[in-house]
Amino acid sequence: MTDPVGPSVNVNAGTGWPSRVLEREEIERIVAQYGDAAVRAREAGYDGMELHAAHGYMLLGSFLCPVRNRREDEYTGATVEGRTRLLLRVIRHIKERAGADFPITLRISGNEDAFDGRELNDTQLIAPLLEQAGIDAFQVSGGVSHDKIVAQIVCGSQYRDGYNVAVAAAVRKVVNVPVMVVGRIHHRHSPRRSSPTATPTWWRWRDRCSRTRSCPRKCSADARTRSAAACRARTASTRC
């Protein structure tokens, strides 16, 4: 098994294993390997490929993620240029090797929704650069996984329906390619009626009562939307 590697030392929330910092020469090899993989996929008959740069914890996503990318070289997470450099290089290299007509979609967090994480305005800044480099469609997810924080990625019922829709609509405004969206899509959603600022953030939700219909005290919907502490005080239930 190879070592877990990344832009910086980050501890995997699941395994507790730290990643090893990638050397620049290793990054060169990885860019080349993405090209090789795309050629193999095309030769095997695939119509295109999807790059995963969402949620901050896989290689491309972790370079894009300021809380995980603490490098100080040209790949630094502290600047837009630095954190997008690897992803842009990979996209261009895939297009060079597999052909400009080999479609690439990109899974990206529109909003990482974490302290010091990337926000929507950052995605709006970088999406046109990614499109220019060759991205043919975006798939907007949300959230980030860092240390023990896993926000929005696995979206339970505490998130409202279509919670990434407004963010995806805002990304669509700055690019000319299709934008897809995931996350509790249970109905048709109108991007016009969704506001990105109305998206619940993990820190607004983390202290909320997690019980819904199973509440033994039959908390009202109103009580459930209060903090868990307020819900307990109101219902005198220790189980909310």
Of 98 and 155, nearer to ligand FMN (C-beta) is 155
State the number of binding residues for ligand FMN (CB under 6 A).
10
155 binds ligand FMN (CB under 6 A): yes
Of 108 and 240, nearer to ligand FMN (C-beta) is 108
Of 184 and 217, nearer to ligand FMN (C-beta) is 184
57 in catalytic set: yes
Q: Which of 7, 110, 117, 183 binds ligand FMN (CB under 6 A)?
A: 183
* 8 A C-beta contact, residue 207 and residue 229: yes
Q: Which of 9, 32, 100, 154 binds ligand FMN (CB under 6 A)?
A: 154
CB of 188 to ligand FMN, least distance (A): 14
Pick the catalytic residue from 34, 46, 57, 159.
57
How do 137-141 and 145-146 pair as beta strands? Answer: unpaired
Question: Tokens 């080349």 identify what position?
Answer: 32
Tell me which amino acid residue 211 is: R
CB of 183 to ligand FMN, least distance (A): 4
Q: Which of 39, 49, 129, 153 binds ligand FMN (CB under 6 A)?
A: 153
199 binds ligand FMN (CB under 6 A): no
Q: Which of 184, 211, 217, 234 binds ligand FMN (CB under 6 A)?
A: 184
Chain contacts with ligand FMN (rule: CB under 6 A): 54-55, 141, 153-155, 182-185
Active site residue ranges: 57
